[in-house]
Amino acid sequence: MATDLVKRAFKYRFHPTDAQAAELSRTFGCVRKVYNLALAARTEAWARQERVNYNATSAMLTAWKRTEELAFLNEVSSVPLQQTLRHLQGAFTNFFAKRARYPRFKSRKKSRASAEYTTSGFRFRDGRLTLAKMTDALDIVWSRPLPKGAKPSTVTVSRDAAGRWFVSMLVEDPAVRPLPATDTAVGIDVGLDHLLTLSTGEKVSNPRHERKDRARLAKAQRELARKAEGDGANRAKARRRVARVHARIADRRRDHLHKLTTRLVRENQTLVIEDLTVRNMVRNHMLARAISDASWAEFRSMLEYKAAWYGRDVVVVDRFFPSSRLCSACGTLQQNMPLHVRTWTCDCGTTHDRDVNAAKNLKAAGLAVSACGAGVRPQRSTPGGQSAVKQETQRATAGTPRL
């Protein structure tokens, strides 16, 4: 049976000419202006208990273009302007479905500078991409080839805080197919001393990209702090130097996570992780910087979408499951285990590495959930003294190999 091809974005850097950079900068400004105008109109209507949809804001855009004040909107391609209205509609859809907060206005300094073009707004022939309102093709650095015969459905042009220009093309990738099924499963425990600890006993070191560039970042930030607010050109240069250091850190972190998640997905059929609330964990000011540098949330996101691509399963275990305090050999639950305890010995005589033991317990719990839907949320102790967690884990994992 034929399956739908996976749509995948391929992102490349490009170097615009002065004319192209000016045109795109105008487009970014117009996109931001239209988004904010439409959001203001919908907010006012919401206060009057009226509903305004995409079609209504599209009609507003036509009217805005006819006014003298907003006539400059006619100078750029209409496609990105229509797309930003669609993005606003999606933002309101997510808000009404309680998946996101109320949409916020775009800031000239803080919001991402980008514009999205659909097929009517660009031409892609013989590996050359030309956008609407432009005569010359973009000078793209083809760091990797597009899939053979690929035809982009959308093209997104963006500029980051470091002044780098990117173009992202959404295409169907026939190379992304479900991998042959295997019987391998792995439990994954994330941490700071080691980025990942696997149930196999393997430990992946934490590269700590932010710490390695901390001195360079501090120097750039000090230079920025010395620039006066009104010192436009010099302050802008100092700001870009800070942004370049941040970009270097983010690029290296993302590259490492991509390689790591791809390997895990290719080698295992079932991947079991813990449901961590990173947003709450970074409130600990002693660990916030290290947790942010580890980027656990981005790791989980990559793991989930790649597993969906290649026919793998990601099982998320409840965050309250006592994976570190539960003996993976006999199932006994320890009462207390401070963070500084890295190895411990159970009453059954088994000595555990804290992280490896947690990864083994995550794997067992994940397989139990997959097999019979058993819960892994810790419960109160039973009157007989034996932990309900121990009873449930032993019952749920019955018949599965003991790790």
Question: Which tens digit of pLDDT belongs to each residue from 253-299?
Answer: 999 999 999 999 999 999 999 988 888 888 888 889 999 999 999 99
Q: Would you say 364 and 403 are in contact if contact means Cβ atoms under 8 Å apart? A: yes
Query: Which residue stretches of the chain have pLDDT < 70?
Result: 1-3, 371-403
380 and 311 both lie in a single domain: no
228 and 333 both lie in a single domain: no
210 and 152 both lie in a single domain: no
Q: Tell me how many domains the chain contains.
A: 3
Question: Of the residues 23, 189, 210, 293, which is catalytic?
Answer: 189
- Asked whether residue 83 is assigned to any structural domain, the reply reads yes
Cβ-based burial of 31 (10 A; exposed 0-12, middle 13-18, buried ≥19): buried
Domain endpoint, select from 291, 316, 341: 316
**Per-residue model confidence (pLDDT) at position 402:** 33
296 and 222 both lie in a single domain: yes
Q: Would you say 146 and 139 are in contact if contact means Cβ atoms under 8 Å apart? A: no
Cβ-based burial of 375 (10 A; exposed 0-12, middle 13-18, buried ≥19): middle
54 and 158 both lie in a single domain: yes
- Asked whether residue 301 is assigned to any structural domain, the reply reads yes
What are the strands of the beta sheet with 140-141, ordered from one edge?
113-118, 154-159, 165-173, 6-14, 140-141
**Per-residue model confidence (pLDDT) at position 51:** 85
48 and 164 both lie in a single domain: yes
Residue 165 CA neighbour count, 13 Å, CB half:
17
Identify whether 193 is a catalytic site residue.
no
Domain endpoint, select from 270, 297, 316: 316
122 and 149 both lie in a single domain: yes
- Asked whether residue 274 is assigned to any structural domain, the reply reads yes
- Asked whether residue 178 is assigned to any structural domain, the reply reads no
Token match 């994330």: residue?
190
Residue 45 CA neighbour count, 13 Å, CB half:
12
113 and 190 both lie in a single domain: no
306 and 326 both lie in a single domain: no
**Per-residue model confidence (pLDDT) at position 334:** 82
Identify whether 355 is a catalytic site residue.
yes
Domain endpoint, select from 316, 339, 357: 316
- Asked whether residue 342 is assigned to any structural domain, the reply reads yes
- Asked whether residue 68 is assigned to any structural domain, the reply reads yes
CA Rg value for the chain: 26
- Asked whether residue 229 is assigned to any structural domain, the reply reads yes
Question: Of the residues 210, 293, 355, 392, which is catalytic?
Answer: 355
**Per-residue model confidence (pLDDT) at position 372:** 62
189 and 249 both lie in a single domain: yes
**Per-residue model confidence (pLDDT) at position 399:** 38
293 and 224 both lie in a single domain: yes
**Per-residue model confidence (pLDDT) at position 158:** 97
31 and 146 both lie in a single domain: yes
For 156, the domain range is 6-173
**Per-residue model confidence (pLDDT) at position 3:** 56
Q: How many CB atoms lie within 10 A of CB 56?
A: 16
- Asked whether residue 402 is assigned to any structural domain, the reply reads no
Question: Of the residues 23, 116, 210, 274, which is catalytic?
Answer: 274
pTM of the model: 0.83
Query: For 212-237, what is each residue's pLDDT tens digit?
Result: 999 999 999 999 999 887 778 899 89
Identify whether 318 is a catalytic site residue.
no
